[in-house]
Chain A
Amino acid sequence: IYSPRVLLRVKPSVNSLYLDVSGSSVEQKIYIELKNTVPCVRLLNATHQIGCQSSISGDTGVLHVLETEADLDWILSTGPHPPYMVLMEATFFTRPTMMRMKNSTRVAGVAVINSNTTAVESFSPHTSCPNQNTGVYREDYGPDLANCSSTVWNPLGNSMSYEDFTFPIFSLKDDNQTQVMRKCYEDHNMRVNGSAPQYPLCAMQLFSHMHAVTDTVTCMRRAEVCDPLSDFNVWASIRPINASAKGHKNNESVVIAAARLDGRSFFWDIGTSAEGTVSGIVTLLAAAHALYPVTQEAPPVRNIFFTFFQGETFDYIGSSRMVYDMKQDKFVINLDNVHSVLEIGQVGLRNGQKLWMHTDPVSRKNSTVDEEVINLVDNIKSVASTLNVSLDEPNTTQALPPSSFQRFLRVQPIPGVVLADHKSSFINRYYESLYDTAAYLNMTYPSDLSPEEQMEYETEASKVSRSARLPDQHCQGTYTSNSSYIGTKTFSHCISCSLSLSPSLFQMAKLLYGFLVRSNNSWFSSLLPPEAGAKGRSSILESGPPQYYIGLRQDNSVKSVTRFVQFVMANATGTVTSLNQIQCQNPNDVPGESKDLYSYHWVSGPPSANSTEGDPYCVRTSVRLAKALSPAFELPEYGSREYSTWTESRWKTIRARIFLVASPQLEMLTLGVGVTVLLVSLVLTYFISSKAELLFSSTHETPNTTY
């Protein structure tokens, strides 16, 4: 049975409405349903299952709040009413505690309270060596760099996301509901003077039963039990390219400017991934905004492909698919068309220090590749020297950090550089966790600004590197991270021309706001098609930040973040046309327009004085979406070791509720009373009915006269 979990996730308020209407009044006396809970779900790959699950009728346990070490002992060994449901603050959500609970039979589930006030020093549930089996380093390619033997990229990683828990783990916000839970615990479950609490006790039940088990091979064999993680990559070219002709393009030499589009956290479908993902996206988008107008005036020698890869967290889904398509001649270009790759990694935490250029030492053993890389690095350095940005190369024998570029290197040695704010290990203390938010990047706004005012406000983050006034041929302006500027100037050197660039500061502030704080703003709404905008029927804008978990695609729909990037890029690299809505959908009928070279979109337009909804127009752009589904599901080869095989399990219900439980003795007593009443009544009835003639004989003295 297919689960309506998109409905559950996207519209929680509607779900709670159904609950209010359908629960009977007796049910409302007994249970308090917990809303706004986020579960941890089961994910599977070729060999393992990870995540959490409950039993099919939910897991029930007596509630206990974990505040001290003594509480942990109570839960795991001394408490008299196992199994326990543990309610804990985020500070206790650490690997040692969770491993102890995992090995115990007395824990029925865990609920983690995620509050904005208590700050965790560092927490990364990801592995310490991300994507170690699907990167470029293996036995036959840089074996001493494989499996993070030389550099551990994520030293704070505790791999909790990749453990298999047999009990459900939910995340709750710290709001009224949590207060109700604490009150229930204090009223019924607190120990009084060291003695055990008395029944009735406060208990919690969590439902998160997952249908899939074991691994992807097993679950794909059975129908409707799991689905592969998939979405779309976004790519755009500076010069339009014929998208209907696949395979090698003659006389086309391309520089790929890449960034990743996704992130994750321990829990399902959330992951704000500010430093891990958004810093790269925003940098690349700002570079595209700045570079495109100039390249139209002075066309460059090489083409630039701005590419955003989806699903990189899960063994490089997007980049492995694009490389596979290039090899199979199913993509618009071929690997031979690729001149070099410049990737933007994590760049948000630079804080006035150096920016690092990572390269691959193994491919540089080839002299032609090495020459190109040195060229690239020198270009970047010369640009950076004109600004107050210090750039450096780390140790040249150091491996490449986990990046989409590694998938290109697996097939062919290509020169390339990955820009990052870390010299060796990540400086991100919250890699792929719930805490990698806008606040971590110091994006704070004064509290009295409305959302629209906040969007235009330059936070400290965007002011971080305000560079001095520069000579004419260079840029005036500031960026969140100068890597964006470096990127654009590097491209200009790659494409052998010198350009004068003036990117907008406001653009940066708006991009950061839309991708990190609130996607429902007027700028995004003006860039999207009318039905997807703020007032549309199927609006994808929300009042909070967008979430970057790749998720699943039902009916070929596109994830909201992918749409945002697609339409921001359309705005950056597109032109406004005078086509009307019908012509926009069939541009081949219009002379001079070509669906092969461009894609056409009907978008809302900014609100103007005479119309609050905005004047829609048709934008012509080279932005396209490319399917990001791992090649393992195309071949199909579900047990593949080479490609990503990540799938997400299906489920039926995800809910949580609290209530009181009575003692087993009282329940047995009730049953005993019932059975006694039944037996006594049977005996009595038999006795009476057998003696009925005698007992009821006095009135019928004249039986035949009654009728």
Chain B
Amino acid sequence: MTVCVFLGCTFVAFGPAAALFVLTVARDPLRVIFLIAGAFFWLVSLLVSALVWFITVQMSNRDSAAQQKGLLIFGVVLSVLLQEAFRFAYYRLLKKANDGLLALSQEDTMPITICQLAYVSGLGFGFMSGAFSVVNILSDSVGPGTVGIHGDSQHYFISSAFMTLAIILLHMFWGVVFFDACERRRWWVLSAVVLSHLLVSCLTFVNPQYEGSLIPTYIIVCVMAGWAFSRAGGSLRNLRLCLTCKDKDFLLANHRPR
């Protein structure tokens, strides 16, 4: 659909993630490293689930459409479970690396808090997941044609871009909530995260009814945003103070020596 659509969809899908990266992550090399490691962990989880799916497809009956659809659903569920498992594995790895990091750092305190680690690793997961979701769609959007000659909906590209945006944000929020729950050993929170991930992934089977998949997904994005905000240390009071610009007095009053 030409360069305009390509640029528009790229900005929608990766704009917020790029903004977050440039403004909050890029300045601190340690955060960059952990972001890339997080992306790598997501990639490995995708590889494993792709391998399992490929093997099952080879063994299955190619001609039966129902069986192929069933296999696809199985593949999606397996992939979600594997992603969350690798997120947990990354958490364990980071905890083990804590001592090493403390020894390496020249200050007495941790150079990076677990909350920041959660955010950065979630963002890494999100980047990789978004890339694999949308890059091949973007590459086809550069051509002169748009989807529709076989009767599909015309809004394929922009819907895919918004879905990718939602997934990236969700991965970030899930990362924060997940790590916090692991810290406090609240296992029911973990299952809530896994279930919401499953819900969002399975909502995509409703496509091409884009309203049916995008609206519930964005509702979940808002819910997870609020949850992550509260886990990360935010509260309504802070938000109100921030917005009404009474922050200067507050900071001076609560100033703690670092």
Contact = CB atoms under 8 A, between A and B. Distances in A.
Interface of A: 24, 26-27, 29-32, 60, 184, 200, 202-203, 205, 657-662, 667-668, 670-675, 677-678, 681-682, 684-686, 689, 691, 693-700, 703-704, 706-707
Nearest to A28: B150
B149 A670 contact: no
B7 A671 contact: yes
A694 B229 CA distance: 12
B140 A24 contact: yes
Contacts of A184: 149
Contacts of A667: 1-2, 4-5, 8
A707 B98 contact: yes
Nearest to B109: A704
A668 B8 CA distance: 8
Nearest to B246: A694
A675 B7 CA distance: 8
B241 interface: yes
B9 A674 contact: yes
Contact of A674 (B8, B144, B152): B8
Interface string B128-148: 000000001100100111111
A697 B233 contact: yes
Contacts of B4: 667-668, 670-671
A381 to B, nearest CB: 66
B232 interface: yes
Given A660-B149, A706-B110, A29 B156 contact: yes
B8 A675 contact: yes
A698 B8 contact: no
B59 interface: no
B15 A660 contact: no
A539 B69 CA distance: 44
Contacts of B254: 697
A670 B156 CA distance: 12
6 contacts: A30-B143, A670-B5, A674-B11, A681-B19, A689-B23, A694-B241
Given A661-B145, A697-B254, 4 more contacts: A30-B140, A30-B148, A678-B18, A700-B233
A678 B145 contact: no
Given A670-B4, A698-B235, A30 B147 contact: yes
Nearest to B160: A26
Contacts of A704: 109
A674 B140 contact: no
B247 A685 contact: no
Given A32-B149, A659-B149, A696-B115, A677 B144 contact: no
Contacts of B182: none
Nearest to B98: A707
Interface in B155-177: 156-158, 161, 165
Main secondary structure of the interface of A (DSSP, over half): helix
A689 B16 contact: no
B145 A691 contact: no
Contacts of B10: 674
B73 interface: no
A673 B12 contact: yes
Contacts of B113: 700, 706
A202 B242 CA distance: 53
Question: Taking each of A202, A677, A699, which has the highest tally of chain B beta carbons within 10 Å of its own beta carbon?
Answer: A677
A661 B144 contact: yes
A660 B136 contact: no
Contacts of B241: 694
Contacts of A673: 8, 12, 158
The 6 A-B pairs with the shortest beta carbon distances in the complex, nearest first, are A659-B145, A674-B11, A674-B8, A678-B15, A670-B8, A681-B16
B24 interface: yes
B215 interface: no
B238 interface: yes
Question: Taking each of A661, A667, A681, which has the highest tally of chain B beta carbons within 10 Å of its own beta carbon?
Answer: A681
B147 A29 contact: yes
Given A29-B147, A184-B149, A698 B15 contact: no
Given A661-B145, A695-B239, A27 B140 contact: yes
B216 interface: no
A362 to B, nearest CB: 59
Interface string B227-258: 00001111101110110000100110010000
Given A674-B8, A700-B233, A694 B109 contact: no
Given A696-B233, A700-B233, A26 B145 contact: no
A440 to B, nearest CB: 38
B89 interface: no
A698 B124 CA distance: 26
B20 interface: yes
A29 B150 contact: yes
A695 B11 contact: no
Question: Taking each of B4, B10, B110, which has the highest tally of chain A beta carbons within 10 Å of its own beta carbon?
Answer: B4
Contacts of B152: 29
Contacts of A203: 144-145
A660 B12 contact: no
Interface in B4-39: 4-5, 7-12, 15-16, 18-20, 23-24
A320 B20 CA distance: 75
Given A203-B144, A675-B8, A707-B110, A26 B23 contact: no
B91 to A, nearest CB: 15
B238 to A, nearest CB: 5
Question: Taking each of A205, A658, A689, which has the highest tally of chain B beta carbons within 10 Å of its own beta carbon?
Answer: A689
Contact of B7 (A60, A659, A674, A707): A674
A12 to B, nearest CB: 22
Contact of A681 (B1, B15, B115, B154): B15
A472 B154 CA distance: 81
Contacts of A706: 110, 113-114
A546 to B, nearest CB: 37
Contacts of A693: 251
B240 to A, nearest CB: 11
Given A30-B140, A659-B144, A700-B233, A674 B149 contact: no
Contacts of A675: 8, 11
Contact of B148 (A200, A678, A695, A696): A200
A200 B154 contact: yes
B111 to A, nearest CB: 11
A662 B147 CA distance: 9
A30 B12 contact: no
Nearest to A683: B19
A678 B149 contact: no
B102 interface: yes
A26 B19 CA distance: 28
Question: Taking each of B110, B136, B144, which has the highest tally of chain A beta carbons within 10 Å of its own beta carbon?
Answer: B144
Contacts of B19: 678, 681-682, 684-685
Interface in B69-115: 98, 102, 109-110, 113-115
A31 B24 contact: no
Contacts of A205: 144-145
Question: Taking each of B4, B10, B149, B158, which has the highest tally of chain A beta carbons within 10 Å of its own beta carbon?
Answer: B149
Given A659-B149, A696-B115, A707-B98, A671 B233 contact: no
B233 A661 contact: no
A660 B146 contact: yes
A705 to B, nearest CB: 11
Contact of B233 (A26, A657, A699): A699
Nearest to A31: B145
A685 B22 CA distance: 10
A205 B145 CA distance: 9
B251 A694 contact: yes
Nearest to A184: B149
A63 to B, nearest CB: 11
Contact of B238 (A674, A682, A697): A697
B12 A674 contact: yes
B238 A695 contact: yes
Contacts of B242: 691, 694-695
A661 B145 CA distance: 5
B217 to A, nearest CB: 16
